[in-house]
Structure 1
Amino acid sequence: MGIIRLKNIRTFSYHGCLPEETKIGSEYSVDLEIKTDLRKAAETDHLADTVDYVLLNRIVVEEMAVASKLLEHVAHRIIVRVFGELPEVSRMTLAVSKINPPIGGDVEAVTVIMEEYRS
């Protein structure tokens, strides 16, 4: 087995419960980690034998472009798509961070972390 990580995928998105959040938008950062079998790719050196991290990035960017009220909701959508499109993924950990959230304090980011296993 092995792990593929994508760190700090940056997007400008329109998530939030406040009306101004969905109009003005905010900066977000996404960290994604998947567990999969990397042994065949290590031997063959063929992209078809591994999980394409370009596709992982595309899934994150596309789902972050769809407005949600809650970070939990957008994170869940990303997880569902990854498991649906990449059957070789056995586990996934996803962290979605809203940078400088409007919560009435000096907070660098708020982060939701979700972990799922293929059943």
Structure 2
Amino acid sequence: MPTTTLPLTAMSSAACCVGEACGPITREPISAVGAADLAGVLKALADPVRLRLVSMIAAHEGGEACVCDLTEPLGLTQPTVSHHLKVLMEAGFLTRSKRGTWAYYALVPGALDAIARTLATV
């Protein structure tokens, strides 16, 4: 069962060092590049459907969910759900593994913690 993880360019910047500043953005002013990187990552979460998807996947049994498990609770079509999942994957929040014709998604360990640390006030 192969797992696909896209390059975490935006997420890596947010998780480790935002632009030239490491750690919380409140420690020192964020650079223009760092702000653009972080904004791109936050934009992926700044959608009610995507927030619900992250929550649903994280809370799902085993910490992963098939697209087929997500469409009905959201009341959306499979292509729409897949689009939102792709955005979350590209931002570095999810991984994908293919099993037969179905794709299963799981939260990247520490991805949300990295965002929380970046936005922390301490």
Report the TM-score range of the alignment, normalised by the length of the smaller protein.
Answer: under 0.3
TM-score (norm 1): 0.27
More strand by share: 1
More helix by share: 2
